[in-house]
Structures are given as C-alpha cells and as structure tokens.
Amino acid sequence: MATIATSGTALSYTPSFELLNRWVIEKQLCCYCGTCAGVCPRITLDGKVPRLINYCSECGNCYKYCPQTYVPVKEFEEKLFPGTNKDESLGYYEKCILAQSTDKNILSIAQNGGLVTTLLIHALEAGLIDGAILAVAEKDWMPKPILARTPEEIKKAAGSKYVMCPNMFAYREVISDPTVKKVAIVGLPCQVRAARKLQMEPMIPVKNGKIEFIIGLFCHRNFSYEGLLLETIKKTLNIDLSNIKKFDISKGKLMVFTQEGKQVELPVKELSKYSWSSCSSCTDFTGRLADISVGNAGVIDLNWNLAIVRSKKAMELLDSAVKAGKLKIAEGGDAINAILKEAQKKAERREKVSEALYQHFSELGVPSEDVRVYFTLLTSGGASAVELSKALNIGETELGAILARLRERGWLVEYGDRYIPTRPSIVLRMETAKLQNLIKKVLEKEPELEGIYVRKFG
Ligand SMILES: Cc1cc2nc3c(=O)[nH]c(=O)nc-3n(C[C@H](O)[C@H](O)[C@H](O)COP(=O)(O)OP(=O)(O)OC[C@H]3O[C@@H](n4cnc5c(N)ncnc54)[C@H](O)[C@@H]3O)c2cc1C
Ligand code: SF4
Ligand code: SF4
Ligand code: SF4
C-alpha cells in the first residue's frame, strides 16, 4: 500500500479515490483532464467530474497521476530540458519561433497556423508515433477525446474547442492496445502535467509509458460546454450549433464564424461566469512541461502560430518538418514579449485561502503579515524573496524580518534562493505543542492565584 510521505509526523495518507475526491474534486480543483479515468477502469466521467463506479483497491494511480496533486515541475524541467534557456514564467526553452503549415487544406481547418496538425501528421508518416491523443468535435461541437491513428483522423480533430475535453481519457486505449507502441499527446497545460507524470514515472512496464511527444496549447482559461455552447452561443447569440464553422477567443473577444461566412463577436469578460473552476488558480499559461508549446498570443496574423520549442526531440521534429517542406518558420520577434506578459500575469493566480483561516492563524499569536507570507508560500508552491516581495508588495527589509521570524518558528525552510513552507499539519502540531506548554505553565500558577482569591474573597 502506497503512502504519501509526511516528513516528521505520524500522519500518513493512503492515495485512493477517496483522497482524490476529498482533496481535488470536492475542492473544485478538478480540471477534468480525464487522467484518473484514463488510468483506472473503475472511474467514469459524467461530463463534469470523475466518479468511482466500482470498488477502489487503493492502488493510488488516480491520485498519483492527477495533475492537481504534486508535480515535481522543477525536477522534471532540469531532467528534460538540460542546457536550454530558462525563464521564470515561460519555463525552459530551446527557441521561440513563428510557424505556419504549407498545406492549404490543413490551414483551412486548423485553428491558427496548423502547426499542431502538421507536426502530428509528419510524426505519424515518419513512423515516430502510432497515434495521437486529441480532442475531436462531435455533433453540436461536443468534444470527445480520441486516439487518432491516421492523418485523416488527426485532421478531423483540428481546431480549438474552447470547452473542457478530458483528452487523457484516451490513454486507456494506449494502455490496452499492444499494437500502439508510441503516441503523441496534445493537451492544455493541465493535461500536459498529467501526460508528463505518466511518461516520467510510467504506470505500465513500457519505456516512457508509450509517450513520445507532448504538445501543449497555450491556455488562459477554459469553459464548460453548457456555458459557452448552450447558454452563450445557442441562447444568447442565437446561433444554431450545427451552423458553427469555427470559434476563436482572441484579443478579449469570443468570435463565432458560421458556415455562411457570418462572424459574431462577444466580449470574453461576459463569459467569466462559465469559466471552469480550476482555471481560477491555474498558473501555467504555456504548458511548461511540454516538448513544444503552441499558441497564437502576440501574433498579429491569426493564421500563424507562436511556438516555444523546449526539448531536443521537438526541435528535431520541427526541423525535419521544415526540411520536408511541410512548415514555414520565422523569428518570434515581439510576440515573445506578449506571451511573457501573459505568462507572468497568469503565474500570479493562486488557490484561495479563506479569510476565516487567516483569522484563526492570527489568533495563534502570529502577526498577520507572517501568516500572509506563509499562505502565499503555500499556495504558490514556494517562492524566492523577490517573488514574495512583488506578490505581496512588501519591502525588502520588512520581508527579511518576516522570513526570519517564520524560519525561527519552523514554518518554512530555505532551499537555494527559495522559501518552502513547512507542511500545515506539522505547523499545526508545533503550534498546538507550544500552546499546550503555555497552558501547562499557566495552570502551574493556579494555586498561587487561587490563594490570592481565597484570601480576598473567602
Ligand atoms: C481551451 C483552449 C484555450 C486556449 N487559449 C489560448 C490562449 O489564451 N492564447 C493562445 O495563444 N492560444 C490559446 N489556445 C491555443 C490555440 O487556440 C491553438 O490551439 C494553437 O494556437 C494551435 O493552433 P494550430 O493551428 O496549430 O492548431 P490545430 O492544428 O488546429 O490543432 C489544434 C489541436 O488542439 C486540440 N484541441 C482542441 N481543443 C482542445 C481542447 N479543448 N482540449 C485539448 N485539446 C484540444 C485538437 O485535438 C488539435 O489537435 C487555446 C486552445 C484551447 C483548446
Ligand atoms: S483502484 Fe487505484 S486508480 Fe482506481 S480509483 Fe482506486 S486508487 Fe484510484
Ligand atoms: S484533474 Fe484530472 S485526474 Fe484529477 S480528478 Fe480531475 S479528471 Fe481526475
Ligand atoms: S486554465 Fe489551466 S486548468 Fe484551466 S483549462 Fe487551462 S490549463 Fe487547464
């Protein structure tokens, strides 16, 4: 039975569906990536959340591979992308370039420059992969995860569906089909994290868990099918869903293109109530663990892509597609600054901690600024002094004093230039022990105080 290490305490947790439910699903942090159902036949997806349909044997796989549980991002980055450029917000990368497919047919069906579809077909035709995990639109743009095995199936999945699609559910087919030896996975940054976990620590006894390439899509936020398609496009904009040719979210607008060539627009801020709950605390814009991350942000022409090439493997794939005349590429230019800004803004999102919790911690006799720094470290997964100072708008000297107090209290440790919060269960136990000691000391004074009372009042 696997347990989660809880360094220094007697606490231990058995990773199970119950734990996934309690710490991810019930907390509304599930990004509906499909991984848990992809790795376990006892889990089903009901369109909004995963559900256990059978007895849970507590193998821990659903918990381990969920992208909303611990992901050793820094460790993975160092192993995967050695010797590349490193940026705090964009992650590690070899190169940032603009790219466009030379295939007119692909350009006519793709979301932007068709880089994703072109790379996948090239990899398939070169025998580098046997298939690709993708999102295809079914009737009325209902998205469905598929394992595409032919160029035609890859083309059928082209185009962005700005709604949650549990792509990783299709990993079930990768596990069960022995004829599938190597696949590519296309996903949003949250799905990329799950794919990378499955590749770096495979659950199947096959090298890299059969995962050859991971292609990430830039993502600011995503929406529910009911909210975007049914409520907004069908009801508010009065567009029949079967009449949609394509839709896009760019420069603050939702744009719907109909089959008759009409274009309808709506400010994207009107969609915020339909945003998926996990997106509000998601900090990764580019998919920093992908081999290559693709989007259009910062590019003037919607028919081009901006790509962040991270791994040597992705660089080779791109080069060979260019050599084969399937792609045109150009320098990234100003587009990189635009995504950098977008990535920095998204990195500031945090999981919320309730005001009541701040209050309770402050009641332990800890200054409220110290509690705020501790919770910021907790929700950001650790930070440097510079990041903390920027996020909390606290000056260097004051922050230095707070960090020293927290270190002395045992609420954080230093790791290189970063501060890592101590596990809350340990913090709570340490504070409880301190309070118990204090109460013991006060109780020792009870006879002395009682004596005064008795002498004065009888
Ligand atoms: C929900 C969402 C939000 C995005 N947000 C941004 C953004 O803020 N800024 C930005 O620059 N770019 C964003 N993108 C990426 C952009 O829309 C294009 O996907 C990207 O530029 C690739 O273009 P392409 O022409 O190469 O894609 P194509 O060649 O058309 O291929 C697109 C691929 O994306 C996959 N896909 C489509 N929808 C989904 C989905 N819902 N979940 C998982 N995979 C899917 C398809 O299977 C297909 O393989 C977003 C994409 C999605 C799906
Ligand atoms: S059997 Fe394993 S993968 Fe399936 S629900 Fe239980 S812990 Fe999760
Ligand atoms: S985030 Fe993915 S793996 Fe985690 S619970 Fe949701 S669907 Fe399952
Ligand atoms: S914002 Fe984050 S959690 Fe939401 S769909 Fe995009 S990558 Fe996933």
Tell me which ligand sits closest to the C-alpha of residue 251.
1
Same domain, 369 and 265: no
Residue 90 falls within a domain, yes or no? yes
Residue 149 falls within a domain, yes or no? yes
- Distance CA(309)–CA(442), nearest Å, equals 63
Same domain, 32 and 85: no
Residue 442 falls within a domain, yes or no? no
Q: Is 177 in the pocket of ligand 2 (CB under 6 A)?
A: no
Atom 4, ligand 4: residue with shortest CA distance:
279
Cα dihedral sign, 88-91-97-98: negative
DSSP labels, 49-79: SEEE-S------HHHHH-TTS---HHHHHHH
Cα dihedral sign, 325-327-333-336: negative
**Domain end point (choices 44, 65, 86):** 65
Residue 194 Cα: closest atom of ligand 3: 3
Same domain, 112 and 250: yes
Enter the pTM of the model. Answer: 0.90
Same domain, 338 and 364: no
For residue 64, the CA-to-ligand 1 centroid distance in Å is 26
Atom 3, ligand 4: residue with shortest CA distance:
279
Same domain, 217 and 282: yes
Residue-wise pLDDT tens for the chain (458 aa)? 445 544 444 456 788 999 999 999 999 999 999 999 999 999 999 999 999 998 999 999 999 999 999 999 989 999 999 988 988 889 999 999 999 999 999 999 999 999 999 999 999 999 999 999 999 999 999 999 999 999 999 999 999 999 999 999 999 999 999 999 999 999 999 999 999 999 999 999 999 999 999 999 999 999 999 999 999 999 999 999 999 999 999 888 999 999 999 999 999 999 999 999 999 999 999 999 999 999 999 888 989 999 999 999 999 999 999 999 999 999 988 888 889 999 999 988 877 788 888 888 888 888 989 999 999 999 888 888 988 998 889 999 999 999 999 999 999 999 888 899 999 989 989 989 999 999 999 999 999 999 999 999 98
Q: Which residues, in sequence order, are CB contacts of 27 under 8 Å at separation 6+?
A: none
Choose one of 96, 102, 160 to mutate for the ligand 1 pocket test, by most ligand atoms within 8 angstroms of C-beta.
160
Residue 272 falls within a domain, yes or no? yes
Residue 445 falls within a domain, yes or no? no
Same domain, 135 and 202: yes
Tell me which ligand sits closest to the C-alpha of residue 290.
4
Number of structural domains (the chain) is 3
Choose one of 16, 45, 53 to mutate for the ligand 2 pocket test, by most ligand atoms within 8 angstroms of C-beta.
16
Residue 339 Cα: closest atom of ligand 1: 11
Same domain, 288 and 386: no
Same domain, 223 and 367: no
Q: Which domain holds residue 45?
A: 17-65
Residue 240 falls within a domain, yes or no? yes
Same domain, 57 and 97: no
Partnered with residue 253 across adjacent β-strands are 250, 267
**211-217 sheet: strands from edge to edge:** 143-148, 131-137, 183-187, 211-217, 292-295, 305-309, 95-101, 327-331
- Distance CA(134)–CA(155), nearest Å, equals 10
Residue 437 falls within a domain, yes or no? no
Number of residues in the chain: 458
- Distance CA(404)–CA(367), nearest Å, equals 13
Residue 109 falls within a domain, yes or no? yes
Residue 16 Cα: closest atom of ligand 2: 7
For residue 29, the CA-to-ligand 4 centroid distance in Å is 10
Tell me which ligand sits closest to the C-alpha of residue 39.
2
Same domain, 184 and 87: yes
**Domain end point (choices 347, 373, 397):** 347
- Distance CA(250)–CA(268), nearest Å, equals 9
Q: Is 25 in the pocket of ligand 2 (CB under 6 A)?
A: no
Q: Are the C-beta atoms of residues 89 and 343 closer than 8 Å to each other? A: yes
